[in-house]
């Protein structure tokens, strides 16, 4: 069995651990041997989006090291009987912490205090909104949304989740599914957090109509995908102070061009699609890979299979 291993995330030390654990598997990092590959382990979307699968005649399984899989041609995978699994529950904790970083950045006036430190100036401000007892709307009730909701309960927040099915979940006070319910939730929310996948139903779903429903004091946080939001409408809502601010880990496009007007706003906090970063990332990815390799070798169903 030949496994292509993307070393950009795991690194050579982890490759050596895998070689030691699985002596009957050949782990390679050579794309030129594509005709020999049985299993593809990668974070690089070019392997799974727009790639010609005919170059991989022996490929049976793709273990994708990303939670999001927008753009993957599942029909082609199904036709070739190729299993596809993603990296669920790997990045949710770090992304949840990033959401709180962005919220507290605004609530505690962090930028003001950092600027004051640079000037060696003692300039206290009195406007500090709290998360405590606030109303929070999370669009997307997957592993990321659940980790965010779990932590929000420490702030005694009321948490509403929006998704396609109405199954109730721990840490959520209510799960909503309809557009009418979403409109009411947007009007009531102090914080609106996007943590949903990008697909044909969610692309540009958050637009002027939805920003118009939000409170002037509300914060908008996006750790989903940039294309879930109409960025021109977001810019106008921020520029006109229609909402208090936005914390963005994702933009459209990425990287965000230096000429984009979003950079010039004082009520936006932008990070470079790095919310998932963690010192534990490689350890968690290794745990996922070894768990699924063990299952695959034993002819048992692998975890987090999409097709």
* Residue 13 phi, psi dihedral angles, 5° rounding: -55, -40
**DSSP output for the chain:** -EEEE-HHHHHHHHHHHHHHH-TTSEEE--GGGGGG-SEEEES-GGGTSS--GGG-TT--EEEES-S--TT--HHHHHHTT-EEE--TTSSHHHHHHHHHHHHHHHHTTHHHHHHHHHHT----------STT-EEEEE--SHHHHHHHHHHGGGT-EEEEE-SS----TT-SEEE-SHHHHHHHHHH-SEEEE----STTTTT-B-HHHHHHS-TT-EEEE-S-GGGB-HHHHHHHHHTTSSSEEEES--SSSSPPTT-GGGG-TTEEE--S-TT--TTHHHHHHHHHHHHHHHHHTT-PPTTB--
* Separation CA 304–CA 97 (nearest Å): 23
Place of tokens 């993957």: 72
List the catalytic residue out of 273, 282, 284, 305: 273
Task: Please confirm, yes or no, whether 273 is among the known catalytic residues.
Answer: yes
* Separation CA 304–CA 287 (nearest Å): 13
Work out whether strand 83-85 and strand 174-176 pair parallel, antiparallel, or are unpaired: unpaired
List, by residue number, the catalytic residues: 273
């Amino acid at each position: 069995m030949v496994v292509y291993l993307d070393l950009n995330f795991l690194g050579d030390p982890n490759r050596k651990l895998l070689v030691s654990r699985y002596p009957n598997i050949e782990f390679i990092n050579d794309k030129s041997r594509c005709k020999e590959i049985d299993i593809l382990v990668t974070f690089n979307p070019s392997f799974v989006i727009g790639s010609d699968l005919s170059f991989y005649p022996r490929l049976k399984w793709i273990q994708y090291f990303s939670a999001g899989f927008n753009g993957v041609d599942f029909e082609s995978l199904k036709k070739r009987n190729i299993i596809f699994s993603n990296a669920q529950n790997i990045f949710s904790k770090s992304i949840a912490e990033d959401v709180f970083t962005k919220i507290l950045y605004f609530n505690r006036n962090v930028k003001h205090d950092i600027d004051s430190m640079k000037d060696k100036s003692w300039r206290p401000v009195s406007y500090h909104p709290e998360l405590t007892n606030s109303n929070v709307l999370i669009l997307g009730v997957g592993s990321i949304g659940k980790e965010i909701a779990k932590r929000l309960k420490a702030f005694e927040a009321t948490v509403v989740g929006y998704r396609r099915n109405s199954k109730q979940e721990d840490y959520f006070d209510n799960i909503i599914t309809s557009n009418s319910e979403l409109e009411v939730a947007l009007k009531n929310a102090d914080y609106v957090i996007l943590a949903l996948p990008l697909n044909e139903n969610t692309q540009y779903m958050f637009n002027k109509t939805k920003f118009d429903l939000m409170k002037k004091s509300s914060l908008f946080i996006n750790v989903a995908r940039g294309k879930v939001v109409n960025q021109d409408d977001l810019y106008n809502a921020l520029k006109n102070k229609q909402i208090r601010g936005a914390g963005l880990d994702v933009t459209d496009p990425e990287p965000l061009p230096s000429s984009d007007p979003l950079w010039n706003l004082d009520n936006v906090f932008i990070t470079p699609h790095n919310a998932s970063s963690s010192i534990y990332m490689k350890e968690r990815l290794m745990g996922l890979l070894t768990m699924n390799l063990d299952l695959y070798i034993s002819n048992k169903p692998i975890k987090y299979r999409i097709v």
